[in-house]
Protein backbone atom coordinates (compact mmCIF):
# COMPACT_ATOMS: atom_id res chain seq x y z
CA UNK A 1 0.00 0.00 0.00
CA UNK A 2 0.95 3.63 -0.50
CA UNK A 3 0.11 6.46 1.89
CA UNK A 4 0.51 10.06 0.78
CA UNK A 5 1.34 12.35 3.71
CA UNK A 6 0.63 16.08 3.46
CA UNK A 7 3.74 17.59 5.04
CA UNK A 8 7.30 16.28 4.94
CA UNK A 9 8.75 16.94 8.39
CA UNK A 10 9.82 14.63 11.21
CA UNK A 11 6.30 13.32 11.74
CA UNK A 12 6.14 12.08 8.13
CA UNK A 13 9.57 10.51 8.60
CA UNK A 14 8.55 8.68 11.79
CA UNK A 15 5.33 7.56 10.14
CA UNK A 16 7.34 6.15 7.21
CA UNK A 17 9.58 4.26 9.65
CA UNK A 18 6.58 2.80 11.47
CA UNK A 19 4.75 1.86 8.25
CA UNK A 20 7.61 -0.01 6.61
CA UNK A 21 7.23 -3.34 8.50
CA UNK A 22 3.57 -3.41 7.39
CA UNK A 23 4.74 -3.14 3.77
CA UNK A 24 3.22 0.31 3.59
CA UNK A 25 5.20 3.03 1.83
CA UNK A 26 4.79 6.63 2.99
CA UNK A 27 5.34 9.36 0.42
CA UNK A 28 5.39 12.95 1.68
CA UNK A 29 4.13 16.07 -0.08
CA UNK A 30 6.47 18.93 0.74
CA UNK A 31 4.29 22.06 0.71
CA UNK A 32 7.39 24.24 0.15
CA UNK A 33 8.81 22.57 -2.97
CA UNK A 34 5.37 21.18 -4.03
CA UNK A 35 7.05 17.84 -4.75
CA UNK A 36 6.37 14.40 -3.37
CA UNK A 37 9.38 12.84 -1.66
CA UNK A 38 10.44 9.65 0.07
CA UNK A 39 10.78 11.03 3.62
CA UNK A 40 13.43 8.45 4.59
CA UNK A 41 15.71 8.97 1.58
CA UNK A 42 14.78 12.64 1.14
CA UNK A 43 14.53 12.03 -2.60
CA UNK A 44 11.86 13.15 -5.01
CA UNK A 45 9.40 10.43 -6.04
CA UNK A 46 6.82 12.47 -7.97
CA UNK A 47 7.18 15.95 -9.41
CA UNK A 48 3.72 17.14 -8.39
CA UNK A 49 0.84 16.59 -6.03
CA UNK A 50 -1.49 15.16 -8.70
CA UNK A 51 0.84 12.17 -9.29
CA UNK A 52 1.14 11.64 -5.53
CA UNK A 53 -2.65 11.55 -5.22
CA UNK A 54 -3.04 9.19 -8.19
CA UNK A 55 -0.53 6.67 -6.74
CA UNK A 56 -1.89 6.76 -3.18
CA UNK A 57 -4.22 4.24 -1.54
CA UNK A 58 -4.79 6.63 1.36
CA UNK A 59 -3.97 10.29 1.99
CA UNK A 60 -3.40 11.88 5.39
CA UNK A 61 -1.62 14.83 6.98
CA UNK A 62 1.20 15.43 9.44
CA UNK A 63 0.21 19.07 10.06
CA UNK A 64 -2.94 21.14 9.94
CA UNK A 65 -1.83 24.34 8.22
CA UNK A 66 -2.39 23.17 4.67
CA UNK A 67 -3.79 25.26 1.82
CA UNK A 68 -7.47 24.63 1.42
CA UNK A 69 -7.16 24.03 -2.33
CA UNK A 70 -4.67 21.22 -1.62
CA UNK A 71 -7.12 19.72 0.88
CA UNK A 72 -9.95 20.00 -1.65
CA UNK A 73 -7.93 18.16 -4.33
CA UNK A 74 -7.12 15.36 -1.89
CA UNK A 75 -10.68 15.10 -0.64
CA UNK A 76 -12.01 14.89 -4.19
CA UNK A 77 -9.98 11.68 -4.65
CA UNK A 78 -12.02 10.06 -1.85
CA UNK A 79 -8.79 8.94 -0.14
CA UNK A 80 -8.27 11.66 2.49
CA UNK A 81 -8.48 10.66 6.18
CA UNK A 82 -9.23 12.43 8.43
CA UNK A 83 -11.58 14.67 6.44
CA UNK A 84 -10.51 18.10 5.18
CA UNK A 85 -13.00 19.58 7.65
CA UNK A 86 -11.23 17.91 10.60
CA UNK A 87 -7.86 19.18 9.36
CA UNK A 88 -9.26 22.71 8.91
CA UNK A 89 -10.69 22.65 12.44
CA UNK A 90 -7.20 21.89 13.77
CA UNK A 91 -5.81 24.81 11.77
CA UNK A 92 -8.31 27.48 12.82
CA UNK A 93 -8.96 28.19 16.50
CA UNK A 94 -12.39 29.67 15.66
CA UNK A 95 -13.59 26.38 14.13
CA UNK A 96 -11.96 24.51 17.00
CA UNK A 97 -13.93 26.56 19.57
CA UNK A 98 -17.15 25.85 17.63
CA UNK A 99 -16.43 22.11 17.75
CA UNK A 100 -15.75 22.29 21.50
CA UNK A 101 -19.08 24.06 22.03
CA UNK A 102 -20.93 21.55 19.84
CA UNK A 103 -19.36 18.65 21.77
CA UNK A 104 -19.87 20.32 25.17
CA UNK A 105 -16.17 20.10 25.96
CA UNK A 106 -15.15 22.47 28.77
CA UNK A 107 -12.62 25.11 27.75
CA UNK A 108 -11.47 28.61 28.70
CA UNK A 109 -13.86 31.59 28.45
CA UNK A 110 -13.13 33.30 25.14
CA UNK A 111 -14.18 35.90 22.60
CA UNK A 112 -13.43 35.77 18.88
CA UNK A 113 -11.80 38.98 17.65
CA UNK A 114 -11.72 40.02 14.00
CA UNK A 115 -11.77 43.84 14.37
CA UNK A 116 -11.39 46.58 16.96
CA UNK A 117 -14.99 46.25 18.12
CA UNK A 118 -14.36 42.57 18.83
CA UNK A 119 -11.24 43.50 20.76
CA UNK A 120 -13.28 45.87 22.94
CA UNK A 121 -15.86 43.13 23.53
CA UNK A 122 -13.08 40.81 24.66
CA UNK A 123 -11.92 43.42 27.18
CA UNK A 124 -15.49 43.77 28.49
CA UNK A 125 -16.33 40.07 28.69
CA UNK A 126 -13.05 38.66 29.98
CA UNK A 127 -11.10 39.60 33.06
CA UNK A 128 -7.35 40.11 33.01
CA UNK A 129 -5.00 38.44 32.35
CA UNK A 130 -6.04 37.54 28.81
CA UNK A 131 -4.12 35.56 26.21
CA UNK A 132 -4.69 36.39 22.54
CA UNK A 133 -3.91 33.69 20.01
CA UNK A 134 -3.93 33.95 16.24
CA UNK A 135 -6.79 31.90 14.79
CA UNK A 136 -4.69 30.62 11.88
CA UNK A 137 -1.13 29.35 11.64
CA UNK A 138 -0.20 29.36 15.33
CA UNK A 139 2.19 26.76 16.72
CA UNK A 140 4.84 26.47 19.44
CA UNK A 141 3.42 29.56 21.13
CA UNK A 142 3.87 31.77 18.03
CA UNK A 143 1.29 34.45 17.15
CA UNK A 144 0.31 35.07 20.78
CA UNK A 145 -0.02 38.12 23.00
CA UNK A 146 -0.53 38.31 26.73
CA UNK A 147 -2.54 41.20 28.13
CA UNK A 148 -1.94 41.68 31.84
CA UNK A 149 -3.08 45.26 32.47
CA UNK A 150 -5.50 47.75 30.88
CA UNK A 151 -2.57 50.05 30.13
CA UNK A 152 -1.23 47.47 27.65
CA UNK A 153 -4.52 47.27 25.72
CA UNK A 154 -3.87 50.01 23.16
CA UNK A 155 -0.39 48.71 22.35
CA UNK A 156 -1.61 45.11 22.04
CA UNK A 157 -4.44 46.20 19.73
CA UNK A 158 -1.94 48.07 17.52
CA UNK A 159 0.17 44.93 17.23
CA UNK A 160 -2.82 42.67 16.55
CA UNK A 161 -4.14 45.11 13.92
CA UNK A 162 -0.73 45.12 12.18
CA UNK A 163 -0.73 41.34 12.39
CA UNK A 164 -4.15 41.22 10.66
CA UNK A 165 -2.96 43.65 7.96
CA UNK A 166 0.16 41.57 7.30
CA UNK A 167 -1.74 38.29 6.89
CA UNK A 168 -1.14 36.59 3.54
CA UNK A 169 -3.79 33.98 4.17
CA UNK A 170 -6.75 33.60 1.80
CA UNK A 171 -8.91 32.86 4.83
CA UNK A 172 -9.59 35.93 7.01
CA UNK A 173 -7.17 36.01 9.94
CA UNK A 174 -8.60 36.46 13.43
CA UNK A 175 -7.74 36.15 17.10
CA UNK A 176 -9.19 34.06 19.87
CA UNK A 177 -8.97 36.09 23.09
CA UNK A 178 -8.99 33.70 26.03
CA UNK A 179 -9.17 34.01 29.76
CA UNK A 180 -5.84 32.89 31.24
CA UNK A 181 -6.48 29.64 33.10
CA UNK A 182 -4.66 29.25 36.44
CA UNK A 183 -3.89 25.61 35.71
CA UNK A 184 -2.11 23.12 37.98
CA UNK A 185 -0.46 21.41 35.05
CA UNK A 186 -0.79 20.69 31.33
CA UNK A 187 -1.64 17.19 30.17
CA UNK A 188 -2.57 15.72 26.81
CA UNK A 189 -4.41 12.72 25.50
CA UNK A 190 -3.38 11.01 22.28
CA UNK A 191 -5.84 8.52 20.86
CA UNK A 192 -6.89 6.86 17.65
CA UNK A 193 -10.25 6.28 15.97
CA UNK A 194 -10.63 3.66 13.26
CA UNK A 195 -12.79 3.72 10.14
CA UNK A 196 -15.42 1.60 11.94
CA UNK A 197 -15.56 4.06 14.87
CA UNK A 198 -13.36 2.01 17.25
CA UNK A 199 -11.55 4.23 19.75
CA UNK A 200 -8.34 3.49 21.64
CA UNK A 201 -6.46 6.03 23.74
CA UNK A 202 -3.00 6.09 25.25
CA UNK A 203 -2.49 7.07 28.89
CA UNK A 204 -2.59 10.81 29.61
CA UNK A 205 0.77 12.52 29.37
CA UNK A 206 2.07 15.30 31.62
CA UNK A 207 3.68 18.03 29.52
CA UNK A 208 6.38 20.47 30.47
CA UNK A 209 7.22 23.46 28.24
CA UNK A 210 10.44 25.45 27.91
CA UNK A 211 10.02 28.98 26.48
CA UNK A 212 6.58 28.01 25.15
CA UNK A 213 7.78 24.82 23.41
CA UNK A 214 7.06 21.28 24.63
CA UNK A 215 10.24 19.92 26.20
CA UNK A 216 9.31 16.89 28.35
CA UNK A 217 6.34 14.49 28.22
CA UNK A 218 5.74 11.89 30.91
CA UNK A 219 3.16 9.10 30.55
CA UNK A 220 0.90 9.12 33.61
CA UNK A 221 -0.31 6.17 35.64
CA UNK A 222 -2.83 5.99 38.48
CA UNK A 223 -5.00 8.83 37.10
CA UNK A 224 -8.17 6.81 36.40
CA UNK A 225 -10.60 9.69 36.99
CA UNK A 226 -8.74 12.13 34.74
CA UNK A 227 -8.20 9.43 32.15
CA UNK A 228 -11.95 8.73 32.04
CA UNK A 229 -12.75 12.43 31.65
CA UNK A 230 -10.20 12.82 28.86
CA UNK A 231 -11.36 9.69 27.05
CA UNK A 232 -14.96 10.94 27.12
CA UNK A 233 -13.88 14.23 25.54
CA UNK A 234 -11.86 12.32 22.94
CA UNK A 235 -14.83 10.13 22.06
CA UNK A 236 -17.22 13.09 21.82
CA UNK A 237 -14.91 15.18 19.64
CA UNK A 238 -13.90 12.39 17.28
CA UNK A 239 -17.47 11.10 16.91
CA UNK A 240 -18.66 14.63 16.10
CA UNK A 241 -16.15 14.77 13.21
CA UNK A 242 -16.44 11.09 12.23
CA UNK A 243 -12.70 11.28 12.65
CA UNK A 244 -10.21 8.67 11.39
CA UNK A 245 -6.62 8.52 12.64
CA UNK A 246 -4.64 9.79 15.61
CA UNK A 247 -5.84 12.97 17.30
CA UNK A 248 -4.28 14.74 20.28
CA UNK A 249 -6.08 16.89 22.84
CA UNK A 250 -4.10 19.31 25.01
CA UNK A 251 -5.73 20.03 28.37
CA UNK A 252 -5.26 22.35 31.32
CA UNK A 253 -5.76 20.50 34.59
CA UNK A 254 -7.42 22.66 37.24
CA UNK A 255 -7.96 20.61 40.40
CA UNK A 256 -9.70 17.45 39.21
CA UNK A 257 -11.12 19.06 36.11
CA UNK A 258 -9.78 19.09 32.57
CA UNK A 259 -10.30 22.08 30.26
CA UNK A 260 -9.47 21.60 26.59
CA UNK A 261 -6.71 23.94 25.42
CA UNK A 262 -6.49 22.81 21.81
CA UNK A 263 -6.65 19.79 19.55
CA UNK A 264 -4.25 18.53 16.91
CA UNK A 265 -5.74 16.35 14.12
CA UNK A 266 -2.53 14.33 13.71
CA UNK A 267 0.23 12.53 15.56
CA UNK A 268 1.61 14.77 18.29
CA UNK A 269 4.92 15.52 19.98
CA UNK A 270 3.46 14.52 23.37
CA UNK A 271 2.87 11.03 21.93
CA UNK A 272 6.44 10.30 20.86
CA UNK A 273 7.04 8.29 24.04
CA UNK A 274 4.66 5.62 22.62
CA UNK A 275 7.52 4.43 20.36
CA UNK A 276 9.07 2.75 23.42
CA UNK A 277 6.32 2.83 26.03
CA UNK A 278 3.44 1.14 24.25
CA UNK A 279 2.66 -1.93 22.14
CA UNK A 280 1.84 0.09 19.04
CA UNK A 281 3.23 3.60 18.69
CA UNK A 282 1.08 6.55 17.60
CA UNK A 283 2.73 6.59 14.15
CA UNK A 284 1.84 2.98 13.38
CA UNK A 285 -1.67 3.40 14.78
CA UNK A 286 -2.28 6.44 12.58
CA UNK A 287 -1.15 4.49 9.51
CA UNK A 288 -3.29 1.51 10.54
CA UNK A 289 -6.35 3.72 11.01
CA UNK A 290 -6.10 5.59 7.70
CA UNK A 291 -5.46 2.30 5.86
CA UNK A 292 -8.53 0.69 7.43
CA UNK A 293 -6.48 -1.89 9.38
CA UNK A 294 -7.27 -3.07 12.93
CA UNK A 295 -5.89 -0.73 15.61
CA UNK A 296 -2.98 -1.80 17.83
CA UNK A 297 -2.74 -1.83 21.63
CA UNK A 298 -2.32 1.53 23.36
CA UNK A 299 -1.61 0.33 26.91
CA UNK A 300 1.45 1.56 28.76
CA UNK A 301 3.98 -1.29 28.81
CA UNK A 302 6.39 0.38 31.24
CA UNK A 303 6.87 3.85 32.74
CA UNK A 304 8.18 6.07 29.92
CA UNK A 305 9.02 9.70 29.28
CA UNK A 306 10.31 11.78 26.36
CA UNK A 307 12.81 14.63 26.33
CA UNK A 308 12.85 16.95 23.31
CA UNK A 309 16.22 17.95 21.89
CA UNK A 310 15.69 21.63 21.09
CA UNK A 311 18.21 23.58 19.00
CA UNK A 312 21.06 21.05 19.37
CA UNK A 313 22.34 18.63 16.72
CA UNK A 314 24.24 16.34 19.06
CA UNK A 315 24.14 14.94 22.55
CA UNK A 316 26.70 12.73 24.26
CA UNK A 317 26.60 9.17 22.91
CA UNK A 318 26.98 8.10 26.54
CA UNK A 319 23.20 8.46 26.90
CA UNK A 320 22.96 5.30 24.77
CA UNK A 321 24.85 3.40 27.46
CA UNK A 322 21.95 3.94 29.87
CA UNK A 323 19.46 1.05 29.75
CA UNK A 324 15.98 1.89 28.47
CA UNK A 325 17.14 4.91 26.46
CA UNK A 326 16.40 5.47 22.74
CA UNK A 327 17.50 8.47 20.71
CA UNK A 328 15.51 9.63 17.66
CA UNK A 329 17.07 12.26 15.39
CA UNK A 330 15.09 14.01 12.67
CA UNK A 331 17.96 14.81 10.30
CA UNK A 332 17.21 18.55 10.32
CA UNK A 333 19.59 21.50 10.09
CA UNK A 334 20.38 23.07 13.45
CA UNK A 335 18.48 26.26 14.35
CA UNK A 336 17.93 27.90 17.75
CA UNK A 337 14.96 26.33 19.55
CA UNK A 338 14.17 23.96 16.65
CA UNK A 339 12.88 20.46 17.40
CA UNK A 340 15.90 18.39 16.30
CA UNK A 341 15.15 15.04 17.89
CA UNK A 342 13.96 13.39 21.09
CA UNK A 343 15.11 10.92 23.69
CA UNK A 344 12.74 8.29 25.04
CA UNK A 345 13.50 6.89 28.47
CA UNK A 346 11.79 3.83 29.99
CA UNK A 347 12.13 1.99 33.28
CA UNK A 348 10.59 -1.09 34.84
CA UNK A 349 9.30 1.08 37.71
CA UNK A 350 8.75 4.79 38.31
CA UNK A 351 11.78 4.86 40.54
CA UNK A 352 13.90 3.34 37.81
CA UNK A 353 12.50 5.70 35.17
CA UNK A 354 13.34 8.66 37.38
CA UNK A 355 16.83 7.36 38.00
CA UNK A 356 17.41 6.94 34.28
CA UNK A 357 15.94 10.35 33.45
CA UNK A 358 18.33 11.85 35.98
CA UNK A 359 21.25 9.94 34.45
CA UNK A 360 20.31 11.28 30.98
CA UNK A 361 19.86 14.81 32.35
CA UNK A 362 23.32 14.65 33.93
CA UNK A 363 24.80 14.08 30.47
CA UNK A 364 22.96 17.00 28.84
CA UNK A 365 24.79 20.35 28.72
CA UNK A 366 23.55 23.06 31.09
CA UNK A 367 23.68 25.68 28.32
CA UNK A 368 20.83 24.24 26.24
CA UNK A 369 19.01 22.02 28.75
CA UNK A 370 18.97 23.98 32.03
CA UNK A 371 15.17 24.13 32.25
CA UNK A 372 14.74 20.44 31.34
CA UNK A 373 17.40 19.45 33.87
CA UNK A 374 15.62 21.45 36.58
CA UNK A 375 12.26 19.85 35.73
CA UNK A 376 13.71 16.33 35.84
CA UNK A 377 15.54 17.12 39.08
CA UNK A 378 12.20 18.13 40.66
CA UNK A 379 10.21 15.03 39.62
CA UNK A 380 9.11 12.99 42.59
- Binding region for Mg ion (CB under 5 A): 250
Among the listed residues 131, 216, 291, 376, the single contact to ligand ATP using CB under 6 A: 131
Residues 6 or more apart from 52 whose CB is under 8 A from it?
4, 27, 29, 36, 45, 46
Among the listed residues 171, 180, 240, 293, the single contact to ligand ATP using CB under 6 A: 180
209 binding ligand ATP? (CB under 6 A): yes
Residue closer to ligand ATP by CB (options 118, 129) is: 129
Specify the stretch interacting with ligand ATP by CB under 6 A; choose among 74-82, 84-92, 133-141, 305-313.
133-141
Instruction: Please list the alpha-helical segments (H only) found in 22-92.
Output: 49-55, 68-76, 84-91
Residues 6 or more apart from 213 whose CB is under 8 A from it?
140, 141, 308, 310, 337, 339
206 binding ligand ATP? (CB under 6 A): no
Specify the stretch interacting with ligand ATP by CB under 6 A; choose among 131-139, 198-206, 227-235, 321-329.
131-139
Q: What is the DSSP letter of 318?
A: G
CA distance 127 to 178: 9
20 binding ligand ATP? (CB under 6 A): no
Q: How far is the CB of 214 from Mg ion (least distance, A)?
A: 8
Identify the three-state secondary structure at position 44: strand
Query: Considering only residues 257-276, where is the footprint of ligand ATP by CB under 6 A?
Result: 261-262
Residue 169: alpha-carbon gap to chain centroid: 22
Q: How far is the CB of 203 from Mg ion (least distance, A)?
A: 19
Q: At what angle do helices 350-363 and 366-378 cross, to 10 degrees?
A: 160
CA distance 146 to 161: 15
Specify the stretch interacting with ligand ATP by CB under 6 A; choose among 61-69, 80-88, 207-215, 228-236.
207-215
Contacts to ligand ATP by CB under 6 A: 108, 131, 133, 138-142, 178, 180-181, 186, 209, 212-214, 250, 261-262
Amino acid sequence: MNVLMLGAGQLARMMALAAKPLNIEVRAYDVGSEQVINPLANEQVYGDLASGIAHADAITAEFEHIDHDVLALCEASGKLKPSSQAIKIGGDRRLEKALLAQSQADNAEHVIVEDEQGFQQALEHLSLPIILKSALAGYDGKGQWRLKSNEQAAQVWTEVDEFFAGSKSLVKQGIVAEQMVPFDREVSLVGVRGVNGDVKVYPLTENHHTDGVLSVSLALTGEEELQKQAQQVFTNLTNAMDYVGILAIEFFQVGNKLLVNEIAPRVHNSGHWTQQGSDTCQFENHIRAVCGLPLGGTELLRPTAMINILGEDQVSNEVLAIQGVSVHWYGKTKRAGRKMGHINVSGESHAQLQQRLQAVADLLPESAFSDIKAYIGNLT
